[in-house]
Amino acid sequence: MEQILSGTLAQFNEAADQIGLADEMRDYLTSFKTVFQTQFPVEMDDGTMRMFEGIRVLHNTARGPTKGGLRYAANLGVDEAKALAMLMTWKCAVVDVPFGGAKGGVAVDPRAISANELQNLTRRFTSEIIPIIGPDKDIPAPDMGTNPQIMAWIMDTYSMNNGYTIPGVVTGKPLALGGSEGRYEATGRGIVDVTEEHLRAEGGVDGRRVAVQGFGNVGGVTAKLIRQAGAKVTHISDKETALHHPAGIDTAAAYAFVQGGGTLAAWREQYARDVEVVSADSVLTADVDVLIPAAVETVLTEANAAAVRAPLIVEGANGPTTPEADTIFRERGIVVIPDILANAGGVTVSYFEWVQARQFQRWSEDRVNQELQRIMARAYQVVSARCPTGTGTCTLRQAANWVAIDRVVEALTLRGIYP
């Protein structure tokens, strides 16, 4: 996972060079407020004890408490957490919500342990990170391998240790425990909102051919919602299976099946035998109008960038494009809407959930979606104003980084250095 950290730093340094950022501020923004690592025991179902490693990285608090996902993944490492925490700082600044960036989790495959063991692990890990989390300090949220139930266990453990219920310590909670309407679909909905905004002058997404890599919370929701908006989703894929149909795939039906515990392979076998099984790589190089990589990091690289045929890439995953691939896309005239803008819908609605928790309010789903659309559209307009598409003088990624860095530097400058 060193590749994603080096890529994140390379993109930051490029933007810093372009805006003439002072060396001392560059050093500040590539440093991390807290890098917390812990090894802790968990009692397993058979009565044995097993050790696990947990990580939480807080990048920058100039604009407010830190915010970012907790992932349960077997290969989780510190470099990955650092890169994603830094990206969260820029993401929050781009959409102008008052948070800094954080990331972390536990090195574990959640599918390899029981529900009881998962709860034991979550509660013990929460106890380990209690000193650094809180509604005014650091607010975790779901990420890869975690979900609303895990957020509920974190909230309960944190609250029990404080003696009263504190719903604002995490976001992405179940609705019954103060979660927000619209939170589950927020990242995918934000991707569709910003894609619509980018294509507004050309009629929006209606009729566009779209390929979506990844079919989890981000990719599955995006594929469903962009089809509802009028696009034709010709390619989808999960970890095991990639599917193609030139007339478009019923992504709502496929996503409902996957949400029920199925796989794309099983859905095709039972309900869509006319859909073709294709190679995973062909999704990224499909002949479509819009490519949405929404699975994992560093999937668009120097090795495959020349084969990408979509004129527009909208980054649903964090860090799916390496700097080398970015350079190739720019030379080929392919527009990339960067992750720190495109997939910021999740943290935006997490902000709404945090606000609701602090004010003991409940917003309707319509209000959440309307506010999300407004913020995503405004963020896209601010970024595109710094780099109008078609000029060839810069990229939307560069412009998004400029906007983000400027906002964080402004906050740091106004606050000054505490002696």
Q: What is the DSSP letter of 228?
A: H
DSSP letter string, 73-90: -TT--HHHHHHHHHHHHH
| 48: phi then psi, degrees, rounded to nearest 5 | -80, 165
| 165 burial level (CB within 10 Å; 0-12, 13-18, 19+) | middle
239 is catalytic: no
| 203 burial level (CB within 10 Å; 0-12, 13-18, 19+) | exposed
Q: What is the dihedral of CA 37, 130, 97, 26, to 10 degrees?
A: -30
> Taking a C-beta distance cutoff of 8 angstroms, is the pair 89, 59 a contact?
yes
> Taking a C-beta distance cutoff of 8 angstroms, is the pair 319, 83 a contact?
yes
Place of tokens 């945090």: 354
d(CA 99, CA 395): 25
Chain centroid offset of residue 141 CA:
11
**Which pair of structure tokens corresponds to residue 148?**
């609303």
**Which pair of structure tokens corresponds to residue 240?**
């095991």
- At residue 243, the 3 state secondary structure works out as strand
d(CA 134, CA 65): 9
CA-to-CA dists, residue 34 to 105, 132, 372, angstroms: 14, 9, 30
| 275: phi then psi, degrees, rounded to nearest 5 | -80, 135
Which is catalytic among the residues 103, 173, 224, 232? 103
Q: What is the DSSP letter of 321?
A: B
Catalytic residues: 103
